[in-house]
Amino acid sequence: MSFEFTLEAECGHARAGILETPHGPILTPVFAPVGTQATVKAVEPRELREMGATLILANTYHLHLRPGDTLIRDLGGLHGFMAWNGPILTDSGGFQVFSLAEMNRIGSDGVTFRDYLDGSLHHFTPETSVRIQHNLGSDIMMAFDECPIPTDRDVVEAALDRTHRWLVRCVEEHTRHGHPSRQALFGIVQGGIFMDLREASAHFVRGMDLPGYAIGGLAVGESKADMYSTLEQTTPLLPADKPRYLMGVGSPEDLVHGVARGVDLFDCVLPTRVARNGAALTRQGRINMRNQQYAADPSPLEPGCTCYTCTHFSRAYIRHLVKASEILAHQLLSLHNLHLLLTLMREMRAAILDGTFTDYAAAFLASYQTVGAHKGSNAIPVAGI
């Protein structure tokens, strides 16, 4: 059955499961590379498949503005348009409407904003967001929500109320005009860092009986301590038999912390964005490939890594490409960074199934943090896997 979620194993709060979708199963925990404009930047779909990506994310807001969701619908939906036959998740556009739009005016009906491309006026409502996602044809759709700075209680409370009313309208629109067996609509729990609001939100959103639940409003500026604390108090409020999605996370350490707190799905631009800034993710931390120390370094980005980049190219070569502003630098660093996060997720899943997740997470974080302490130093050691 579409969108059935099977919990295979738990280890502490960490979970391993399988989420069925019309475009194949997703083994969880899973990290979704982000393809904002219907392309994971600098990576070909066949390369995503090769590195074991299953779920990717695309952005409703950007694709609605360019090239337009009706065009994408007419060209086979996102799957056909971007030649990705695996599962796709689309966000609601809410986050971008609030954070990117030049001007926005929030009403109870929705949000009016100016197009960042040509300045024209647009109006997004819960119904608009759902209809656009119908056109995009994603496997997993997100409810239209407001995601405020999570630390101002009055703002968070007002946004939460709107988010709940908008959720009801999203569900109605999807039930009436969508195909819930082909596209799953996930609800989003908001409430900032305030646990009574998170509880109220989880209670409300659970009441809609949806195929999956997201935790929104984290990783948007609050402290790491606030994020981890809110997260570990929120996941237990969600049904155990449905997938849990932490939006916009993350870094290697946040993925481990998230899985440890019972999250099943993640997405983040970080691996491809830092690649375009010339940085490689490693199990010991992030390394800046512009640094002189790599100029004659014959070793791969991460010794032992099995990705195309690490099995063929040296740090010295990649540093040369970065310094020479070559496109191949973005390609090779993006391949490696995504491969690392996807490998990390597979390792965590295997450890959960083995019952060794706690040890795995502790070992990973100890090694990762050791280097975190040297940040800014040129002497970041990168040991073998």
Q: Which residues bind a second copy (CB under 8 A)?
A: 37-39, 41-46, 66-67, 71, 74-75, 81-83, 295-296, 298, 308, 312-314, 316-317, 319-321, 323-324, 326-328, 330-332
Minimum CB distance to a second copy, residue 141 (Å): 21
Which run of H or E residues covers position 377?
none
CA–CA gap between residue 269 and residue 281 (Å, rounded): 13
Q: Which is nearer to a second copy, 13 or 41 (CB)?
A: 41
Please count the residues of the chain: 385
Task: Please indicate whether residue 161 is annotated as part of the active site.
Answer: no
Minimum CB distance to a second copy, residue 330 (Å): 6
Q: Which is nearer to a second copy, 16 or 82 (CB)?
A: 82
CA–CA gap between residue 213 and residue 238 (Å, rounded): 7
Q: Which is nearer to a second copy, 46 or 177 (CB)?
A: 46
* E-strand stretches of the chain: 5-11, 14-19, 26-28, 30-33, 56-58, 88-90, 104-106, 111-114, 121-124, 140-142, 184-189, 213-215, 244-246, 265-268, 279-282, 285-288
Minimum CB distance to a second copy, residue 338 (Å): 14
Minimum CB distance to a second copy, residue 381 (Å): 21
**AA letter at 340:** L
CA–CA gap between residue 39 and residue 321 (Å, rounded): 22
Q: Which of 69, 74, 91, 139 is catalytic?
A: 91
Task: Please indicate whether residue 91 is annotated as part of the active site.
Answer: yes
Buried b (16+ CB within 10 A) or exposed e, 201-225: bbebbbeeebbbbbbbbbbbebeee
For residues 241 and 7, the answer to whether their CB atoms sit within 8 Å is yes
Minimum CB distance to a second copy, residue 366 (Å): 33
CA–CA gap between residue 303 and residue 309 (Å, rounded): 11
Q: Which of 115, 209, 267, 297 is catalytic?
A: 267
Residues annotated catalytic, as ranges: 91, 267
